[in-house]
């Protein structure tokens, strides 16, 4: 029962976030700490399999090291996304969740494929 309630709350949160007016990847810097849908063009993807946590970095609008916004998929969640390099490369995407900042660059952690949709 508790699990079903938790799933329902997560889905409701995702639906509400999708209902919001999306913001551009370049405007995300002005929304740190907010939940939002951030949209941009995927320009580079890097799977850092030898780094702690095995993150996958999906950079929007400009490639690393000049990225405008980064979607982070931790290694523990990567299998849920299949092959992110194949799924998202060269697509325009919107990601929904909490915008945070790492070393001055806005980012969002995606732990569920439902957070990322291809436009």
Regions of the chain where pLDDT drops below 70: 1-20
At residue 80, the 3 state secondary structure works out as helix
pTM for the full model?
0.83
Q: Tell the CATH topology of 2-118.
A: OB fold (Dihydrolipoamide Acetyltransferase, E2P) (2.40.50)
- pLDDT tens across 62-77, in order? 999 999 999 999 999 9
Give the integer Cα–Cα distance in Å for 82 and 30.
31
Contact 28, 106 (CB under 8 A): yes
Domain borders along the chain are 2-118
The residues near 79 (Cβ < 8 Å, ≥ 6 apart) are: none
- What sign does the CA torsion over 16, 19, 21, 25 have? positive
How confident is the model at residue 61, as a pLDDT? 98
Residues in the chain: 119
**What pLDDT, on a 0 to 100 scale, did the predictor assign at position 2?**
65
């Amino acid at each position: 029962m508790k699990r079903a309630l938790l799933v329902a709350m997560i889905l409701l949160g995702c639906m509400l976030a999708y209902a919001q007016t999306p913001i551009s990847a370049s405007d995300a810097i002005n929304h740190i700490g907010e939940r939002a849908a951030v949209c941009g063009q995927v320009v580079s993807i890097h799977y850092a399999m030898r780094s702690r946590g095995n993150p996958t970095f999906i950079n929007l609008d400009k490639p690393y090291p000049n990225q405008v916004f980064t979607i982070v998929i931790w290694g523990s969640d990567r299998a849920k996304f299949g092959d992110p390099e194949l799924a998202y490369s060269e697509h325009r995407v919107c990601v929904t969740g909490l915008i945070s900042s790492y070393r001055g660059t806005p980012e969002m952690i995606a732990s569920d494929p439902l957070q990322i949709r291809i436009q």
